[in-house]
Structure 1
Amino acid sequence: MLQKVRGTQYLTALREGGSLPGLVEADNDTTYVVKFRGAGQGSAALVAEIVVGELGRHLGIRVPDLVLLEVDAELARREPDQEVQQLLQASTGSNLAMDFLAGSVGYDGIVWRAPAEEAARVYWLDALTANVDRTWSNPNLLIWQRRLWAIDHGAALIFQHSWPSVDGWANRDYGMGSHVLSERVSTLTTPALDALDAELAALVTSEALDRILGLVPDDFLVNMNSANGTDPQTLRGRYREYLLARLAGERAWWPEVAA
């Protein structure tokens, strides 16, 4: 289970993204970046954050710790900014938060470049989950303590918004050119890419996915617009089916296969 904390003070809005995440202090004296369920994308974005973030951690990618943060009506009442107050009011209950990496900077590929193998690991995760939000306009990568950290996975798993055919999703292409780490991945040799692909694919098992999907709260799942009354366990099974089908397909999304 993800740790549960309670928000005690809203600190500031992070207005770089359209969903208006915010910095919130919690009752465990930790500061978190909070993604609110009342934002435009609703709880589907929170589901993707958990599934892809924890899958990334399982694959050896650094991802800030995720927790469930409770927002109560009192926290909203104390907020003077009307836009933020409305967001907090719409988000009472459980929300998703990630550990705030104080002092981190955004990845620009100039001052410090990611090691090629780490870059390829992140790219593999993004390609498997069809993450459309890791470009130079929005890298969603941080450098903290001279290490690469992956954040913001809410735009991945786009199948959850409309549930297309499993086969169509499995064979969906993933264009490498616009990915922020594509240049670093392209420096690896074919044997190195093959070996990494085999290593990561072996880790994505039904058992691993079930454990990760089990971290997603039931209400995050059933409150998605596309849930349509489906029960949580059935929805978890659909996520597992889609991800395993993409893994077992022709793999046109992996650079060496696509070459």
Structure 2
Amino acid sequence: MNFSLPELRTVEVTRYVTPLREGGSLPAIVEADDDFLYVLKFRGAGQGVKALIAELIAGELARALGFRVPEIVFATLDESFGRTEPDEEIQDLLRFSEGLNLGLHYLSGAITFDALVTTIDAILASRIVWFDCLITNVDRTPRNTNMLMWHKELWLIDHGASFYFHHSWPNMEEQARRPFVQVKDHVLLPQASELEAVDAAFRSILSPERIHAIVALIPDDWLSGDSPFESVEEHRAAYVRFLETRLVHSENFIKEAQHARKALI
């Protein structure tokens, strides 16, 4: 299957605009040297680069599957950037995040998706539920949908809590085969009646070549820190192996989602 290799731009952060304090990792709106605003995810916050890796892989997988996702960029923070920041907590965050971070294009004026206000058809709901089962995304609940309506279109955001297996690497192969039991809390599960049809279509899109290309985007620097692997290459290959194994055994998470859906309707 022919496809374009994903490419990410690199920008330099020039101005800290405001923190987004609803997130535990203190993401922020920043301005970059291309004059655009971005939601910046900091390597020095919360779960560190693992959250950035999850955001990167999940976001580009979503884009490959045809979802609307804000542009993802690499964003560099100069060592002198936070010196004038008066808030000590933010100043520490900026200092610990020097170097390469991750930014998502800021969707100015977007509003949070509300399932009680906006109706999603069965196909789109099934596509999103399938995707979140694949990446083990626990953050798509009625309380926190992590979806936005922007110019009357649905956008997926904030996938940093995905791939939670990489916080504990032992038994990775077993974890890749497991159903996604948290799907029972998914905000779109009641509408997701077309999971089997979506499965066939999406598995054909996510070829090994495409998965390798997306995982190859992870900067070596993010893979060379606290890691149980002997090399960056081995670490990167583990993400590929997880995704390929999960796709082969997608029936496991589909059945779990269907069972959870029957319990709801």
Backbone CA RMSD of aligned residues? 1.6
Higher mean C-alpha displacement, 2-11 vs 200-209:
200-209
- Opposite residue 221 of structure 2, the aligned amino acid is D
Give 1:219's aligned residue.
221
Q: 2:205 aligns with which of 203, 206, 209?
A: 203
Q: Following superposition of structure 1 onto structure 2, how do residues 5-20 of structure 1 map, counting pairs within 5 Å?
A: 5-20=11-26
Pick from 52, 57, 60 the counterpart of residue 51 of structure 1: 57
- Which residue in the other structure is 2:71 paired with? 65
Cα distance in 2 between the residues matched to 1:133 and 1:240: 22
Structure 2, unmatched stretches of 5+, are: 1-6, 260-265
5+ residue gaps, structure 1: none
Return the offset for 1:256. 7.8
1:114 corresponds to which of 116, 120, 124: 120
Identity of aligned residues (%): 43
Count of residue pairs the alignment pairs up: 252
Residue 255 (structure 1) shift? 4.7
Matched letter for residue 253 of structure 2: W
1:237 counterpart residue number: 237
Shift of 1:121: 1.3
| Aligned counterparts of 1:136 and 1:4: Cα–Cα separation in 2 | 34
Distance 1:195 1:182 in 2: 15
Normalised by the size of structure 1, how large is the TM-score?
0.92
Alpha-carbon distance in structure 2 between the residues aligned to 1:198 and 1:42: 35
Q: Structure 1: which 4+ aligned runs deviate by more than 6 Å?
A: none
Counterpart-to-counterpart distance in 2, 1:167 and 1:229:
15
Corresponding letter in the other structure for 1:248: V
2:195 pairs with 186, 193, 196, which one?
193
Once the 2 structures are TM-superposed, how far is the Cα of residue 159 of structure 1 from its aligned partner?
Answer: 1.5
Residues 136-175 of structure 1 mapped to structure 2, 5 A cutoff: 136-175=142-181
Query: Which residue matches 1:88?
Result: 94
- Find the residue that maps to 2:252 and give its secondary structure: coil
The question of 1:246 aligning with 2:241 is answered no
Contact 2:180 2:256 in 1 (8 A): no
Is residue 2:191 matched to residue 1:184? yes
The SS at the match of 2:102 is strand
Q: Is the 8 A contact 1:61 1:118 kept in 2?
A: no
